[in-house]
Amino acid sequence: MAKQKRNAALTKEKIITNAMLLFAQNGYDATTTDDIAKQADVNKAMIYYYYKNKSTLYAEVMSHVLDAIYQEIVAKEAQNPLKDLENFISTYASFCHKNPALPALLLRELSDSGAHLPQEMFANMRQLFGLLSKILAEGEEQNIFKNVEPMMIHFMIVGTINLLITTAPLRKIASELDAELNTCHECSIEKITEYIYEKIQLMLEVQQ
C-alpha cells in the first residue's frame, strides 16, 4: 500500500505522537527534530509547517497528555471524597502505566524548576493539583481526612507513582545485582495502586 499523501490531520498527529514518544524516552535536548521526523515518517520541514518550533511542539505534546489525564479523572468523579481519592490514584497510575512516557516527562519538567516549563503546561499541572486539593478539602470538611497538607499528599502520590514507573528498568537491574535488595521490581501496577491508596488512608487517618 502506497504511503498516503497530503493528509494534514494525519501528518500532524503522527508528529505529535512520535514526538511524545521520543521526548519521553530521551528528553527534550537529546531528541532531535530529525529523530522525530524519521520516527513519524514525515518530512522534517513539516514539523515547522505545523508547529512553530521544537519547544512549541514540546509544549503541545505535554499539554495534550496532561489534559487527557485530567479529563479521565474528572469523568469518574463521584462526589465522595474517599472514592474520589481512590479514583484519583488509580486513574493516574493506570494512565501512567499505559503511557509510560508521561512520568519521565513530568519528572524532567519538574526537575528544572520550570525553567523551560511552558505556560500552558504549567496551567495543566495546576489544574490536576487543584483537583486533588478539592477532593482533600472536601474530605477534611467532612472529617474523613485529618491533618491534610495537599501539596505533600499530592507529591506522595504522583511522585511515588512517577518514580516507580520511570525506575522500573533500574530496579530490575538493582535486584539482579543484589538479590537481598527488595526493589519491588515485580510489583504490578495494581499492587502499587492498592498499596499507595492504603498508605495514604493511614496517613490521613481514615477510619475503616
Pick from 4, 71, 79, 111: which binds its own copies (CB under 8 A)?
111
8 A C-beta contact, residue 144 and residue 81: yes
Nearest distance from C-beta of residue 58 to DNA, angstroms: 9
Residue 17, exposed/middle/buried by CB under 10 A (0-12, 13-18, 19+)?
A: middle
DSSP 146: -
Contacts to its own copies from residues 130-149, by CB under 8 A:
130, 133, 147, 149
Per CB under 7 A, 11 contacts DNA: yes
H helices present in the chain, as ranges: 8-30, 33-40, 44-50, 54-75, 81-98, 101-110, 119-141, 150-154, 160-166, 168-177, 189-203
Nearest distance from C-beta of residue 16 to DNA, angstroms: 13
| Cell triple for 3 | 504511503
Q: Rounded to the nearest 5 degrees, what angle is found at the Cα of 188, between the Cα atoms of 132 and 92? A: 20
Contacts to DNA from residues 41-100, by CB under 7 A:
42-49, 53-55
Per CB under 8 A, 160 contacts its own copies: yes
6 interacts with, out of its own copies, DNA, none, CB within 5 to 8 A per kind: DNA
Nearest distance from C-beta of residue 188 to its own copies, angstroms: 13
Q: How far apart are CA 20 and CA 23, in angstroms?
A: 5
Which of the ranges 41-49, 67-75, 80-88, 121-129 carries the binding residues for its own copies, by CB under 8 A?
A: 121-129
130 interacts with, out of DNA, its own copies, none, CB within 5 to 8 A per kind: its own copies
Per CB under 7 A, 5 contacts DNA: yes
Nearest distance from C-beta of residue 51 to DNA, angstroms: 8
Per CB under 7 A, 2 contacts DNA: no
Burial per residue of 36-64, b for 16 or more beta-carbon CB atoms within 10 angstroms, e otherwise:
bbebbebeeebbeebbeebeebbbbbbbb
Can you give the binding site for its own copies, defined by CB under 8 A? 25-30, 103-105, 107-108, 110-115, 117, 122, 126, 129-130, 133, 147, 149-152, 155-156, 159-160, 162-164, 166-171, 173-174, 177-178, 181-184, 187, 192, 195-196, 198-199, 202-203, 205
